[in-house]
Amino acid sequence: MHFDFPGVVHRPENPPHVFVANSFQDREFARKLVAALRRDRVSPYTELGEMTSGDSLLRRLSSSTRPVDCVVPVVSVASAAHNWVGRELVELMRREINRRRVRAYPAKVDNCTLPPSLWGHFVADFNGLGWNQAYDGIKAAIQGKPGAEAMVFRQPAARPAPAPPPPPTREVAPAPAGTKQVYLSYDRENDGYYKDVLVNWSKMPGFAQFWVDAESPGVTVDSVQAEPVKLALAKRMAAASGLLCLVGAESHESGWTEWEIRKADELGKRIIAVRIDRDFPFPGLLSDVGATCALSFTFEGIRRAIDEAYGEGALD
């Protein structure tokens, strides 16, 4: 027979070990979250773990002295492009660590774009929903309450497909001499997340500024309807001082990517190539035009490649 007495708090026999992983830039949010979870007695075993871009979350969890049950990765502009967020989290969800299944409950803390590996999974959107609602969701998920693992995320409003842009009605001002105004060429259908990462990095000192056409042309590159689109893009490209080609999984088959590379070469622009993944096919045209290549998709690697293209240094 079981009796419930007023004022008696029934704690679980085995409270979960919670690991909050964060980048240096997000340490204040992570500390606030850990303090709240401890205060609310979600678990006395709530640990804060600061991660760098080169750290491995899987190795960190495997070497933990106490087996981890739940991971709360803090996802932000600063951390979204790191391997421990973009790649290792999806691997973590598919395997066991130290013979235990580890649950992952990401906390989105700013207006960053979620890595594709997190689409369709639980995400507590602290930026879109506010602290109270997102915190209640992540707390319930850690506690294993029924139905708590539904996504706590504010979905963006659906927008109708855009029409092809008309030719510009006024001239685009050229980039000032000596500045790194770079036209960004990328697969708009598949690589928008990495475009967003580059645009966010461009806000940091010492990085290039990008001119980005975020809308898909909506027509094939060799169609008659593509001519006004080409005219608009060529004027933007002519005003820039360089072109950065983001090489994704499908870039080698993109007619628009090839056209943009050829147009930049025709205009005498500096050309930089950044391969998102080393396994992605590299368009041979980039080698033909002598593109400067980044060694990896990292802030420092891309910055160095751009500097080299502008004659300000060489890659290590």
Burial bucket for residue 118 (CB in 10 Å: 0-12, 13-18, 19+): buried
Q: Which CATH number fits domain 181-309: 2.60.120.10, 1.10.167.10, 3.40.1530.20, 3.40.50.10140?
A: 3.40.50.10140
pLDDT level of residue 292 (50, 70, 90 thresholds) = very high
CATH number of the structural domain 18-142: 3.40.50.10140
Identity of the residue numbered 91: E
Please tell me the distance from the alpha carbon of residue 251 to that of residue 273, in angstroms, as a whole number: 11
The residue type found at 229 is V
Q: What is the pLDDT of residues 4-38, one digit of tens each?
A: 434 444 444 578 889 999 998 899 999 999 999 99
What length is written for the chain? 316
The token pair that represents 114 in the structure block:
């979620």
Q: Where in the chain do CATH 3.40.50.10140 domains reside?
A: 18-142, 181-309
**Cβ(208)–Cβ(306) below 8 Å:** yes
- Tokens matching residue 63: 């070497």
Q: Residue 193: CB partners within 8 Å, gap ≥ 6? A: 113, 114, 115, 116
Contact indicator for 194, 187 with CB cutoff of 8 Å: no
Q: Report pLDDT for 96.
A: 56
**Statement: residue 156 has pLDDT above 60:** no
For 260-280, the pLDDT digits (tens) are 999 999 999 999 999 988 888
113 near 80, Cβ under 8 Å? Answer: yes
Distances (CA, A) of 34 to 14, 27, 161, 178, 182: 19, 10, 42, 46, 41
Separation CA 305–CA 257 (nearest Å) = 19
d(CA 124, CA 133): 9
| C-alpha to C-alpha distance for 56 and 68, rounded to whole angstroms | 15
Is the pLDDT assigned to residue 246 strictly greater than 70? yes
Give pLDDT tens digits for 203-239.
Answer: 888 788 888 887 777 788 888 888 888 998 999 899 9
| Rg of the chain over all Cα atoms, to the nearest angstrom | 23
- Identify the CA nearest to 19 among candidates 59, 67, 53: 67
Q: How many whole angstroms separate alpha carbon 129 and alpha carbon 201?
A: 25
Check if the beta carbon of residue 155 is closer than 8 Å to that of residue 142.
Answer: no
* Phi, psi dihedrals of residue 308, rounded to the nearest 5°: -65, -40
Calculate what percentage of the chain has a pLDDT beyond 90: 23
Query: Chain-centre distance of CA 306, in angstroms?
Result: 20
d(C-alpha 184, C-alpha 190), whole Å: 14
Cβ neighbors of 285 (< 8 A, separation 6 or more) are 258, 261, 262
Can you give the pLDDT at residue 62? 84
> Higher pLDDT residue, 177 or 51?
51
CA distances (Å), origin 104, targets 85, 122, 242, 301: 11, 8, 41, 29
Scan for tokens 């026999």, then name that residue. Answer: 13
**Average pLDDT rounded to a whole number, residues 67-93:** 84
Q: What would the mean pLDDT of 281-301 be, rounded to a whole number? A: 87
Alpha carbons 307 and 180: distance in angstroms, whole number: 9
Burial class (CB in 10 A: 0-12, 13-18, 19+), 306: buried
Q: Are 118 and 193 in contact (CB under 8 A)?
A: no
Name the token pair of 145. 């309450």
